[in-house]
């Protein structure tokens, strides 16, 4: 897919001098995204709850890009203050924020029917996925306005699925889609989902 192939961005170092903040960056999509931005020259802030997984992610990034500027932040996206402090520190360190990626996510184990769901786990899915995305935007919007930057929220085709036992994840991802629509209308122009 040439249109989305990051090779040209990496080769041209097109993100040199730019700051990128990624939640859920200790593994999976978040970690892989951090590596690509580091290869493209960006200063990268990786954020997640697990210190040791963040250490592993940072080591992997530096192994692939020894000159990368990578900062790690232990963040619980469910906590407004936790996200705000990390974003503020990243901006202080990098001097700017050009891209913020709300990638942190949680999947509730599927139950047979909704009356069999674990209610605290169901709600935690929404706190991480929806409130975490909101907190990440709230903490970063003023900085992104300054750089005409981009806020990217990861969602899923699961927002459109009706899978028995999968209501927590599907509903939370659907809510993120709608949240991004509101963000794009009222907060600033750079909201992408």
- Number of domains observed in the structure of the chain: 1
CATH number of the domain to which 44 belongs:
3.40.50.720
Query: Does some domain include residue 4?
Result: no
Is residue 181, in this structure, part of any structural domain at all?
Answer: yes
Question: Is 169 in the active site?
Answer: yes
d(CA 57, CA 54): 5
Active-site residue identified among 89, 92, 173, 188: 173
pLDDT in tens, the chain (193 residues): 566 666 766 666 677 889 999 999 999 999 999 999 999 999 999 999 999 999 999 999 999 999 999 999 999 999 999 999 999 999 999 999 999 999 998 887 776 777 777 788 888 988 999 999 999 999 999 999 899 899 999 887 666 767 766 778 888 888 898 888 888 777 656 554 4
The answer to whether residue 69 sits within a structural domain is yes
CA separation for the pair 43, 93 (Å, rounded): 9
Name all contacts of 139-142 with Cβ < 8 Å and 24+ positions apart: 139/80, 139/83, 139/84, 139/86, 139/87, 139/88, 140/21, 140/87, 140/97, 140/100, 141/187, 141/188
User: Among this protein's residues, is 188 annotated catalytic?
Assistant: no
Alpha helices per DSSP H over 43-166: 51-64, 80-94, 119-126, 132-147
Residue 53 within any structural domain of the chain: yes
> Is residue 79, in this structure, part of any structural domain at all?
yes
pTM: 0.89
Catalytic residue chosen out of the listed positions 63, 143, 169, 188: 169
Q: Which residue bears the tokens 């600033």?
A: 188
Domain extent, residue 181, equals 13-192
């Amino acid at each position: 897919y040439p249109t989305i192939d990051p090779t040209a961005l990496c080769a041209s170092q097109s993100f040199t001098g730019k700051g990128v903040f990624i939640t859920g960056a200790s593994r999976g999509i978040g970690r892989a995204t951090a590596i690509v931005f580091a290869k493209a020259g960006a200063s990268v802030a990786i954020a997640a709850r697990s210190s040791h997984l963040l250490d592993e992610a940072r080591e992997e990034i530096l192994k692939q890009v020894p000159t990368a500027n990578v900062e790690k932040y232990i963040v619980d996206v469910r906590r407004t203050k936790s996200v705000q402090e990390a974003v503020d520190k990243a901006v202080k360190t990098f001097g700017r924020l050009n891209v913020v990626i709300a990638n942190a996510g949680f999947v509730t184990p599927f139950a047979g029917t909704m009356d069999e769901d674990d209610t605290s786990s169901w709600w935690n899915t929404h706190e991480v996925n929806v409130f975490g995305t909101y907190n990440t935007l709230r903490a970063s919007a003023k900085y992104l306005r300054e750089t005409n930057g981009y806020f990217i929220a990861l969602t899923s085709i699961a927002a459109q699925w009706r899978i028995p036992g999968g209501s927590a994840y599907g509903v939370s991802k659907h809510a993120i889609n709608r949240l991004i629509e509101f963000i794009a209308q009222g907060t600033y122009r750079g909201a992408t989902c």
